[in-house]
Structure 1
Amino acid sequence: MPLPRLPRLHLPVSAVLAGACLAALVSAPAGADTPGSAADRALQKQLEQLVRAPGGPPGVIAVLQRGESRRILRAGVADLDTGRPVEQSDHMRIASTAKAFSGAVALRLVDRDTLALEDTIGRRLPALPSAWHSVTLRQLLTHTSGLPDFSRSPEFLRILTADPHHTFDSRRLLDFVADEPLMFRPGSRYQYSNSDNIAVALMAEAATGKRYEELLRRLVYRPLRLHETSLPQGFELPEPYMHGYDVPVQPPAAPQDISELIGASGVWASGGIVSTPRDMTRFIRGYAGGALISRATLREQRRWVDGASEPAGPGKNKAGAAIFRYTTRCGVVLGHTGNTPGYTQLIAATPDGERSLTFSLTTQVNEATKPRLLKKLREVEENFVCALLRD
């Protein structure tokens, strides 16, 4: 979930240590994550280049999995103060990849006939503005709803800027834009909006009478064995975690640790989940591969429209129901991206779920803040997809 750049924090990060850690490659332990082949060494070099790039992440980890075989490549560190290496068990903010989780909840409820893709806001959430009542669950999941984005509301931004740890009522986030009309006729075009997945979670709650957090546990975490994933309300991250940084493009300013800059209550179903690379690998293999839903619902999920994730993923992007299709020069993967202060994410898998890529950075990269780095990142991501798909 992209959020505006908040005032820089003046935290005690050692510039000398930062420089040393950014230039160093973390030595991988012997085993599955030892880059032995020429192809893996080439990929490893690209991760090092990302870490050394202007504004680049202090740490990056990529998990490539084919069947039961897993390769882990990483560069930089999880914590600039200690020099600790990045691990696949490290917690991190998953940003807008959390939208895929809300999609998983909604589509599982569709399979159970508890929700329908043509259910409207008017039917499930009649207290929301009448101008929004014709918007369907399908349009929310495909970002074709026209709902105004609460995260761009001046009042929301004022509160967040004044107190980044402010505790919002997650179920009232749409109140920030309740007096605004739809941005366009529902279904007429694509526009990414953080409001969409808030409404999805509220519709799931209305249909079941259960809290969204409980629905996540029952419908997603348990069947996929996600033991390190949660949706908190506060700003603290569970140990151990990858530290997220605000990294200036221009030296000599040092990276600032913003891991716990903002709480999750103000992003909730749109971007508040905390997870690990290990759990995210399990999730995307199950979600993209259709393990959670029927073939009929899977076909509905994969009705593609023109639209890119935020930030854009590798190759050419198309939008489905809480999932994106990334068509690269080497083939197609399905997944989601995300960015939030301190973190950038890509999760992707082949349509059968047999091959997957989890790619996590410890700084925020998007078109608005670091367009040159985003271009480089997408190139590297595509190279990793090609390595994943190569026989």
Structure 2
Amino acid sequence: MRYSQVHWRRACVGLTAAALLAVPASVGSAYGVTPPPGPSPSASSSSGTGFAELSPAVAARLDTAIRQVMKEANVPGVTVSVSAPGKGNYLRSFGVADKATGAPMAPDLNMRIGSVTKTFTVTALLELVDQGKVGLDDPISKYVTGVPNGDKITLRDLAEMRSGLFNYSADPGFDKALMTDPKKPFTPQQLLAFAFKHPVQFQPGQKFDYCNTNLILLGLVVEKAGGMPLNDFITQKVVKPAGLPHTLFPTGNEFPSPHAHGYTNQTLSGKVEDATDWNPSWGWAAGAMISDLSDLRSWASTLATGTLLSPKTQAERLKTLPTGIPGAGYGLGIFNIQGWIGHNGSLPGYECLTIYLPEAKATVTVVLNTDMLHNTTEPSTLFGQAVTRIVTPGHVFNLPAVEPRPTPSPVSPSPTR
């Protein structure tokens, strides 16, 4: 999710829309599980939950829709998973994971997941709530000093994106620092310094405004109350209990193999570059994590059903508030869009979408290796929309286009680059 109406593309995406690559994508082999032959009802004729039987005919429609999005948005590679109990499973990879070698996209590749990291950070926070170590209505000043309006902004305000703080990733100085040297490491304190130079945008609770600064602060709260570095807490208390063997919180630009190469035009020149080894520390608690499709598919249901939390705390999490976007609400580090609960993520070179529809116990997961917008829409949104139009026409995942980002001013290359 970017933030508010998302006016800058490096905000680790959350509630917004799509990306575009300037090189045509080749469609590689499809991998997957297709249900056994049988009747091929349309989505509209499916019973009960309104979720389509994932028959060969529906799988063929999904193949066509996904290839069409790839072609229109010039996406190099994508993997899509769709599943629901009693309806079958669909798992396909299309295109390439590496444009230089032509290596095919595959379901087992590690990917950077951008703002889906937020769901892990807030889950960690809510576990501490269950343990009585923090309170959602505690002011952030109780844990972190020097926060503008910190005595009024609560942890709940931060998790709901209603703090009123300035988004550090919208600061021109941060933009210059990141774009000059994308492999540069950032500390949480450096990120907050970019934000705290600016006055508060509004009083806490007044409105929704997607802001990465909120998650950096919550990450510091988890560290203080949890008694260990954030990456260790999330690994030990969230990732392992959730059974996610391929999910990690990197401390630098490490990227386990196998992984897809990621392509972005969020560069000084505006030209497409390989962002695979860029350092995600600038996203930290808001967007630095790595996972694969299998883990994300599992995480979608864990997140939406509250497996790691008490029922009371999960109920608090799912109390979504209006965002100003029709059909979209945001809760505690989680969105509900037309009934789909989850999050999306974007980081230079990568996007993903992991969502769950409770009434059908259905999961849709998408990972792709570009963040380049197509007509101001996130590609992950385009794939989510195309898939849900077929399998859940009564619950079509959709987000409005993002505002065009300003053209960055030229910056001299860093001598360390």
Aligned counterpart for 1:218 among listed residues 236, 240, 243: 236
Q: CA–CA distance in 2 between the matches of 1:128 and 1:384? A: 49
Give, in angstroms, the shift of residue 65 of structure 1: 2.6
Q: CA–CA distance in 2 between the matches of 1:33 and 1:90? A: 26
Aligned counterpart for 2:137 among listed residues 113, 118, 129: 118
DSSP-derived class of the 2:240 partner: helix
Q: Is the 8 A contact 1:57 1:247 kept in 2?
A: no
Can you list the C-alpha shifts for 1:21-49, whole angstroms capped at 9, x where unaligned? x2434233676799861111001111111
> What amino acid is aligned across from residue 141 of structure 1 in structure 2?
A
> Which residue is equivalent to 1:282?
298
DSSP-derived class of the 2:332 partner: coil
> What amino acid is aligned across from residue 294 of structure 1 in structure 2?
S
> Which residue is equivalent to 1:269?
285
DSSP-derived class of the 2:261 partner: coil
Aligned counterpart for 1:345 among listed residues 335, 341, 352: 352
> Which residue is equivalent to 1:320?
331
Q: Is the 8 A contact 1:347 1:358 kept in 2?
A: yes
Q: Which moved more, 1:184-193 or 1:213-222?
A: 213-222
More helix by share: 1
* 1:52 counterpart = 2:71: yes
> Which residue is equivalent to 1:11?
none
Give, in angstroms, the shift of residue 247 of structure 1: 6.7
DSSP-derived class of the 1:243 partner: coil
Q: CA–CA distance in 2 between the matches of 1:341 and 1:208? A: 30
> What amino acid is aligned across from residue 242 of structure 1 in structure 2?
A
> What amino acid is aligned across from residue 320 of structure 1 in structure 2?
G
Q: Is the 8 A contact 2:32 2:91 kept in 1?
A: no
Q: Is the 8 A contact 1:109 1:115 kept in 2?
A: yes
Q: Structure 2: state its 5+ residue gaps.
A: 3-7, 11-20, 38-53, 397-417
Q: CA–CA distance in 2 between the matches of 1:175 and 1:211? A: 20
Q: Structure 1: state its 5+ residue gaps.
A: 6-14
Q: Is the 8 A contact 1:91 1:241 kept in 2?
A: yes
Q: CA–CA distance in 2 between the matches of 1:109 and 1:32? A: 42
Structure 1 residues 268 and 111: alpha-carbon distance in aligned structure 2, compared to 1, 3 A threshold: same
Q: Is the 8 A contact 1:97 1:271 kept in 2?
A: yes
State the structure with bigger RCO (CA 8 A, min sep 6), 1 or 2: 2
Aligned counterpart for 2:27 among listed residues 24, 27, 30: 24
Structure 1 residues 259 and 179: alpha-carbon distance in aligned structure 2, compared to 1, 3 A threshold: same
Q: CA–CA distance in 1 between the matches of 2:36 and 2:129? A: 39
**TM-score, length-scaled by structure 2:** 0.78
Q: Is the 8 A contact 2:79 2:366 kept in 1?
A: yes
Structure 1 residues 350 and 42: alpha-carbon distance in aligned structure 2, compared to 1, 3 A threshold: same
Q: Is the 8 A contact 2:297 2:364 kept in 1?
A: yes
> What amino acid is aligned across from residue 178 of structure 1 in structure 2?
F
Give, in angstroms, the shift of residue 224 of structure 1: 0.9
DSSP-derived class of the 1:344 partner: strand
Structure 1 residues 232 and 178: alpha-carbon distance in aligned structure 2, compared to 1, 3 A threshold: same
Q: CA–CA distance in 2 between the matches of 1:118 and 1:218? A: 25
Q: Is the 8 A contact 1:138 1:321 kept in 2?
A: yes
Q: Is the 8 A contact 1:153 1:177 kept in 2?
A: yes
> Which residue is equivalent to 1:8?
none
Structure 1 residues 208 and 24: alpha-carbon distance in aligned structure 2, compared to 1, 3 A threshold: closer
Q: Is the 8 A contact 1:26 1:77 kept in 2?
A: no
Aligned counterpart for 1:293 among listed residues 273, 294, 309: 309
> Which residue is equivalent to 1:79?
98
Can you list the C-alpha shifts for 1:253-306, whole angstroms capped at 9, x where unaligned? 99642222x202111010000111111111111111111111111111111111
Q: Is the 8 A contact 2:84 2:360 kept in 1?
A: no
* 1:142 counterpart = 2:160: yes
Q: Which moved more, 1:171-180 or 1:287-296?
A: 171-180
Can you list the C-alpha shifts for 1:208-256, whole angstroms capped at 9, x where unaligned? 22111111012211111111111113224211112211379xxxx9964
> Which residue is equivalent to 1:354?
361
> Which residue is equivalent to 2:120?
101
Give, in angstroms, the shift of residue 81 of structure 1: 2.5
> Which residue is equivalent to 2:389?
383
Structure 1 residues 97 and 381: alpha-carbon distance in aligned structure 2, compared to 1, 3 A threshold: farther
Aligned counterpart for 1:186 among listed residues 181, 204, 222: 204
Q: CA–CA distance in 1 between the matches of 2:381 and 2:354? A: 17
DSSP-derived class of the 1:132 partner: coil
Structure 1 residues 155 and 259: alpha-carbon distance in aligned structure 2, compared to 1, 3 A threshold: same
Q: CA–CA distance in 1 between the matches of 2:158 and 2:355? A: 21
Structure 1 residues 167 and 360: alpha-carbon distance in aligned structure 2, compared to 1, 3 A threshold: same
> Which residue is equivalent to 1:335?
342
Q: Is the 8 A contact 1:289 1:354 kept in 2?
A: no
* 1:207 counterpart = 2:210: no
> Which residue is equivalent to 1:10?
none
> What amino acid is aligned across from residue 240 of structure 1 in structure 2?
P
Q: CA–CA distance in 2 between the matches of 1:228 and 1:171? A: 28
Q: Is the 8 A contact 1:317 1:324 kept in 2?
A: yes
Q: Is the 8 A contact 2:162 2:205 kept in 1?
A: yes
Structure 1 residues 375 and 291: alpha-carbon distance in aligned structure 2, compared to 1, 3 A threshold: closer
